[in-house]
């Protein structure tokens, strides 16, 4: 029986009262570890995973597209001409000319460069002949219409071509003036021409520039 005192507290819980929200979340947040919390985490992980996979696929597709050849018909046609030029030039400058070298092994000589003598006439004929024939090949390529998309690459390739032709023209002139017929290979290398070193630089520059212009490997020299 309840006393008549009005101030006596009612021990029954008020069904209208609700627990205050906690700092971890609203009052509707499921407790940590509950099935609702796990579902939310699973959904978030799925979204992140899908986004990551999509990013990877996009990167792969972008890389593949970048490697695909240009299907612009004028570009494709012009690059075929560039490749053909490289092949012909490569054939010219890599042909063996055994008539240039004259083996001369002698007792007591240990330096291999002193065991080889150079036939000056054939050497000059080969160098000048190569320069003339390669110049003709480059001139024929220059007569082709260059697509606007390749104008910058064409300019760089033209500069590399001129550097190559100028170098070997100077080499021939120096041999004509400073080298005697029958001198050794060592003497040829001592002329101060740096034939191998500078030749390697202009060869590399020519190959690189022509490869960019052709859109694929386009070696003119060794």
pLDDT in tens, 126-178: 999 999 999 999 999 999 999 999 999 999 999 999 999 999 999 999 899 99
| pLDDT value of position 45 | 55
- Work out the pLDDT band at 201, boundaries 50, 70, 90: confident
Secondary structure of residue 25 in the 3-state scheme: strand
| pLDDT value of position 162 | 97
**The CA-based dihedral angle spanning residues 51, 53, 57, 59, taken in that order and rounded to the nearest 10 degrees:** 70
Nearest-angstrom CA–CA distance, 147 and 150 = 5
Window from 5-14, 32-41, 87-96, 103-112 with minimum mean pLDDT:
5-14
For range 216-220, the mean pLDDT: 95
The yes-or-no verdict on residue 56 having pLDDT over 90 is: no
What percentage of residues in the chain have a pLDDT greater than 70? Answer: 64
Nearest-angstrom CA–CA distance, 22 and 5 = 36
| pLDDT value of position 32 | 52
| pLDDT value of position 11 | 47
Average pLDDT of the chain to the nearest whole number: 79
Task: List the structure tokens of 120.
Answer: 């000056």
Nearest-angstrom CA–CA distance, 137 and 211 = 16
For range 20-40, the mean pLDDT: 54
For range 107-118, the mean pLDDT: 92
| pLDDT value of position 60 | 44
Nearest-angstrom CA–CA distance, 98 and 126 = 11
For the stretch 76-93, pLDDT in tens is: 999 999 999 999 999 999
What percentage of residues in the chain have a pLDDT greater than 90? Answer: 55
Secondary structure of residue 219 in the 3-state scheme: coil
The yes-or-no verdict on residue 54 having pLDDT over 70 is: no
């Amino acid at each position: 029986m309840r006393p008549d005192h009005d101030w006596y507290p009612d021990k029954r819980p008020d069904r209208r009262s609700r627990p205050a929200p906690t700092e971890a979340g609203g009052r509707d947040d499921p407790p940590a570890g509950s099935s609702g919390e796990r579902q939310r985490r699973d959904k978030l992980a799925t979204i992140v995973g899908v986004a990551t996979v999509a990013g990877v696929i996009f990167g792969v597709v972008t890389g593949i597209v970048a490697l695909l050849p240009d299907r612009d018909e004028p570009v494709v046609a012009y690059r075929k001409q560039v490749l053909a030029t490289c092949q012909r030039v490569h054939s010219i400058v890599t042909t063996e000319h055994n008539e240039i070298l004259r083996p001369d092994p002698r007792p007591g000589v240990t330096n291999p460069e002193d065991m080889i003598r150079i036939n000056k006439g054939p050497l000059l004929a080969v160098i000048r002949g190569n320069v003339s024939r390669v110049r003709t090949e480059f001139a024929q390529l220059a007569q082709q219409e260059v697509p606007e998309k390749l104008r910058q690459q064409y300019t760089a390739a033209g500069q590399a071509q001129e550097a190559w032709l100028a170098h070997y023209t100077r080499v021939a002139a120096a041999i004509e003036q400073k080298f005697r017929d029958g001198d050794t290979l060592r003497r040829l290398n001592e002329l101060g021409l740096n034939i191998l070193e500078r030749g390697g630089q202009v060869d590399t520059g020519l190959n690189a520039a022509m490869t960019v212009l052709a859109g694929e490997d386009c070696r003119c020299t060794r």
